[in-house]
Amino acid sequence: MGVYLNVEDQSKETWLQKNAMQINETEAREHEDYKDLMLIVLVQNMMFSAAAIAYKPEEKVEFLDPNDNRLKKFYLVERKKLPERVQSQLAAYQKY
């Protein structure tokens, strides 16, 4: 299922604009820090957007699949800026 950024007091898009740095796809592909600087992929689905956190290499590869034609934007955010609930989820997922 993965880890997703969901915030209660504003939209994902607004939160990312305030707290993250937008990067291009090439920069996203080159990103390798899965500890302190998290890659977030904002994916536009038909009815909603999802802000997926690529917390390990396999997640990044999945979200950068060239056969996935959904509109995507890429962001880097310091892990410490993520909501506490999201940080807890990341810690649990990264144990494995």
Q: What is the pLDDT of residues 20-41, one digit of tens each?
A: 999 999 999 999 998 999 999 9
The pTM of the full predicted model, rounded to 2 decimals, is 0.91
Q: Which residues pair with 23 in a beta bridge?
A: 74
Q: Where are the domains of the chain?
A: 3-93
Strands 72-78 and 21-23 come out as: antiparallel
Q: What is the pLDDT of residues 37-89, one digit of tens each?
A: 999 999 999 899 999 999 999 999 999 999 999 999 999 999 999 998 888 88
Selection from 56, 31, 51, 25 nearest residue 40 by Cα: 51
Q: Residue 1: what pLDDT?
A: 54
**Which residue from 71, 80, 35 is spatially nearest to 54, judged by alpha carbons?**
35
